[in-house]
Amino acid sequence: MRNPFSVQPDERPRPVQAAFNYLVVCLLIIGFFWVSLMQVGVALDFGFVGQYRARIFDGLLLTLQISAGSLVMSLLIGLPVAVGRGSRILPVRYLCDVYVKLMRGTPLLAQIYLFFYIVGTAWGVENRLVAGIIILSIFSGAYIAEIVRGSLNSLDAGQLEAARAVGFTRRQTLRYVVVPQLVSRTLPALTGQLANMVKDSSLLSVIAVIELTQTMQEISSVTFNLFGTYLFLAGAYLVLTLPIMFASRYFERRLDYAHEDR
């Protein structure tokens, strides 16, 4: 009888076998936390969910709106920055390089305080939702720039030369050679970055953006149900990000250019 808990290193488990093992792992994790809660004498109460369901839904909806808006803006920032890091104009190249290093080298929480209370105040950005989307977009744009730049650098120069040899114009080369490969190489990572944006949006609660985390903080302060509200919050973010992570993995397998010739 085949062992349901093991496969060969290069073998992909069957769907039923994979589902069974995922279930076992999830039950072990749930059991571990359940025993931990019993050890410290915490009784979970999720009765607040029904009572505050409208506020929770509004916070969830705002989190999705922030994430979607930030994704669009960060793409508009990241794409030109990725190109700018290879510019022949040195001030442009170094500006893009410094931007990426600053955003990736400093914590998002510090950036939120800096941009909202100093830069935002100086330039009259008073709407907290707009400010939050801008801040998250600037932060995520640096990571998207690195994703795109890495994909651009991985393009085979021989393919570009072959496109010129068959008479492709620069626009045709971009459309038929560069863009399809760029999409296949960046889409999985961009999908994963969207999951990070959903989680990073929780930090906007420090400037009182009433997204999901801020909503749960307010409910917790009223109900005094700290563990229940934050455990529910963790589950809500997991529900939001798991489909995105599965989509990222799907695109990674579907668009894996390294296996196209197999």
For 49-86, how does the pLDDT look when each residue is reduced to its tens digit (9 = 90+)?
Answer: 989 999 999 999 999 999 999 999 999 999 999 989 98
Rounded to two decimals, what is the model's pTM?
0.82
Quick one: 7 exposed, middle or buried, by C-beta within 10 A (0-12, 13-18, 19+)?
Answer: middle
pLDDT digits (tens, 9 = 90+) for 192-250: 888 899 999 999 999 988 899 999 999 999 988 888 899 899 999 989 898 888 887 77
Residue 179 reports pLDDT greater than 80: no
Tokens of 46: 């999720």
In the chain, the largest separation of any two C-alpha atoms, in whole Å, equals 74
DSSP state of 174: I
DSSP per position, 221-262: HHH--HHHHHHHHHHHHHHHHHHHHHHHHHHHHHT-GGGTT-
d(CA 236, CA 234): 5
Q: How far apart are the first and last CA of the chain?
A: 32
**The two structure tokens encoding residue 93:** 């190249």
Region of 209 on the Ramachandran plot (φ > 0 left; ψ -120 to 50 alpha; else beta): beta
User: According to the model, what pLDDT value does residue 177 have?
Assistant: 76
Give how far Cα 151 sits from Cα of 77, 130, 246, Å. 16, 30, 21
